[in-house]
Structure 1
């Protein structure tokens, strides 16, 4: 098994970005994204995940880092696919009470890419009782609250209360960890830390619980071939207040590197043949995200170092 250091982890991220750049056309929106029975998971979800990963990578790595350039280029592409925000206005008319348009839009807003017309329409909807009372799982509720704040919609912060209604916030018995709770806990940490930018957002008791059990859960996921969830857990490990111990995570990183195809694609579950786009784009994005977040924490890059990665480098 290859020893994994900073260079090897960077190689995983660089290969993932090479695949993402080569397959950017597969992230493009078409009219399927606006049909009444359109498959959101095959249209807006991939584009939103591309934007979120690229925005996160840009804020985690210095502008001089080649991975920063790849991320900026793909973020520009994603923004152009939305008609520079105009297509969110169209979605608002089609599905005024759907939350996914705001969740995707908020990623661009965090990068300084904004559409005032959509924000005004979304803010009007958000003032209705129908919007505020929509029933949501606690993890999704955390995400919607963060999306509102990013998009200029402000209301009393209930994140702390919502956190304690999530699986992770309740500090459950560690042996109850399974696939669904795994995906939920990673996204809770993503929301608490602004996708890794603010490790202090994880409460002390939750951080200690995760630091203790993440290595075991990582091994469990990788033993089961769940590569995408393994990458998400590596992001979580690198998003905790105390930086990760590389020695502890060299094994999981080596397994991710070993499963990555020569093209840079990482299948959702271990597979000898590279699968279709929809079955590897998410895992590949998470590999790129995990590499950038891990590199940031291992090399000690600070927010001051990444300040130039803010909005001014993206519009176009």
Structure 2
């Protein structure tokens, strides 16, 4: 395992193998998402109630996240058109934001409309009525009193920050409530806690845009233990979590970009761009492949995008 030496600048160029692997992973993943996006259309008659939001609604938001980061960071080079097409597709499916507005209006304490909307806002899409509604809700006590697990509170805080409606959010308190914020014994980490760790970092740093916001004690903890966790989940071929941990590496003040880890991810990725969730066999049915492996492929696109961005000093 190679990491940047202590004290190296945050914009130190990544080794060439990382850049090439990251570019390959991101470009192939974006191509797969674009080529299969029609499998992620909302069923006719879908309303804001969304009886099963994780089936299509959530994947639309994840696609928008990946595409918005491509446009934000300008990586991989030449993929801006693909990213914009993916955003246009997702925005169309959400009826130009009307579905997000209707869902937020009907379920005022739900946070997913805000969180999904910010991916579009990052890329220049706006919905005036939703803007006004979110501004109004930000002034209500109940919105901040909604019961959420700690890393989810960070997700809401980051979305509010992006919208400019954060009302004096105490980031130190929110971070201190997380598992990672307490830098506990790293060897007791389990699968679900590892996902919480990744999302804690994503939201503190706004997906790598604010690496300086990561508290120093967390930075030190991750510089020491992230390589170990990567080894663990590479060995058991949990590629979705492995890729999320690579995103964490790209979000650090001193980005952790290990050529061997990136080569492993590139090798696990299928030639068409799909990243399998784990080491199990991937079936041939296109719809099932989309349902099972859309999320890890989004994660692959984000991981490659952020690694390239940090390697370029952005």
Identify the structure with bigger relative contact order (alpha carbons < 8 Å, sequence gap 6+). 2
Check the 8 A contact 1:51/1:75 in 2, yes or no: yes
Residue 33 (structure 1) shift:
4.8
Displacement of 1:141: 0.5
- Structure 1 Cα separation of the partners of residues 290 and 227 of structure 2: 29
1:278 correspondence with 2:291: yes
Q: 1:31 to 1:130 in 2, by over 3 A?
A: farther
Residue number in structure 1 paired with 2:266: 257
Is the contact between residue 105 and residue 133 of structure 2 (CA under 8 Å) also seen in structure 1? no
Query: Does 2:27 align with 1:14?
Result: yes
Q: Deviations over 1:218-256 (max 9, x none)?
A: 111121221111111111101111133x4xx22222221
The CA distance in 2 between the partners of 1:9 and 1:150, in whole Å, is 26
Tell whether the 8 Å contact from 1:200 to 1:241 is kept in structure 2 after alignment.
Answer: yes
Stretches of structure 1 that go unaligned for 5 or more consecutive residues are 303-316
Query: What residue is the counterpart of 1:308 in the other structure?
Result: none
Identify which range, 165-174 or 51-60, moves more after superposition: 51-60
Note if contact 2:48-2:100 (Cα within 8 Å) is conserved in structure 1. no
1:165-185 superposed Cα distances (whole Å, 9 cap, x missing partner): 101101010101111111111
Mapping 1:188-207, distance limit 5 Å? 188-207=200-219
In structure 1, distance between residues paired with 2:190 and 2:107: 33
1:82-161 aligned within 5 A: 82-161=94-173
Aligned equivalents of 2:263, 2:245: Cα separation in 1: 14
Q: How does 1:189-268 map to 2 (within 5 A)?
A: 189-244=201-256, 246=257, 249-268=258-277
Q: Distance between the aligned counterparts of 1:203 and 1:113, measured in 2?
A: 32
Q: Residues 282 and 289 of structure 2 are in contact (CA less than 8 Å); yes or no, is this contact kept in structure 1?
A: no
Q: Residues 157-196 of structure 1: matches in 2 within 5 Å?
A: 157-196=169-208
Q: 2:8 matched to which residue of 1?
A: none
1:57 aligns with 2:66: no
Is contact 2:240-2:296 (8 Å) kept? yes
Give the secondary structure class of the aligned counterpart of 1:230.
Answer: helix
TM-score scaled by length of structure 1: 0.87
In structure 1, distance between residues paired with 2:50 and 2:126: 27
Alignment of 1:61-72 (within 5 A): 61=74, 65-72=77-84
Q: Is the 8 A contact 2:208 2:251 kept in 1?
A: yes
Q: Distance in 2 between matches of 1:31 and 1:38?
A: 14
Judged with a 3 Å threshold, the aligned counterparts in structure 2 of structure 1 residues 8 and 142 are, in CA distance, closer, same or farther, namely closer
Provide the rounded CA distance (Å) in 2 between the counterparts of 1:176 and 1:53: 31
Count residues with an aligned counterpart: 295
Give yes or no for contact 2:63–2:87 (8 Å, CA) kept in 1: yes
Query: In structure 2, what is the Cα distance between the partners aligned to 1:13 and 1:133?
Result: 38
Q: Aligned with 2:96: secondary structure?
A: coil
Deviates more, 1:123-132 or 1:249-258: 123-132
Give 1:261 deviation, angstroms.
1.4
Q: Which moved more, 1:158-167 or 1:76-85?
A: 76-85
